Amino acid sequence: MHKLPETGFLRLHQIIGNPKAKPPIPAIIPVSKSTWWEGVKTGRYPQPVRSLGRRITAWRVEDIHALITRATL
């Protein structure tokens, strides 16, 4: 498992990974982009924070930790 910081923000490619990046970014939550956004829409995955900038969408690390904890119970 990845070592996530306790606080901060993650962009989508850091959560679902990007094998084409150099170096490749491993997935924390191994789902497709469309699956992730559908999960956000339905409430399965946390809502993003969009107040960081006009074109920046990110998720709180705390919310990703909670998602991982729920999935492992």
Whether residue 3 lies inside any domain: the answer is no
What SS3 class is residue 18? Answer: strand
The predicted model scores a pTM of 0.88
Instruction: Read off the pLDDT of residues 33-43 as tens digits, 9 standing for 90 and up.
Output: 999 999 999 99
- For residues 64 and 45, give the distance between their C-alpha atoms in angstroms, rounded to a whole number: 8
Burial of 64 (0-12, 13-18, 19+ CB in 10 A): buried
Count of domains forming the chain: 1
Q: Is residue 32 part of a domain?
A: yes
Structure-block tokens of residue 18: 């990007």
pLDDT of residue 2: 61
Is residue 1 situated within a structural domain? no
Nearest Cα to 27, choosing from 13, 41, 11, 16?
A: 16
Asked whether residue 4 is domain-assigned, the answer is no
Q: What angle do CA 28, 30, 68 make, to 5 degrees?
A: 50
| pLDDT in single tens digits along all 73 residues of the chain | 567 889 999 999 999 999 999 999 999 999 999 999 999 999 999 999 988 888 899 999 999 999 999 888 7
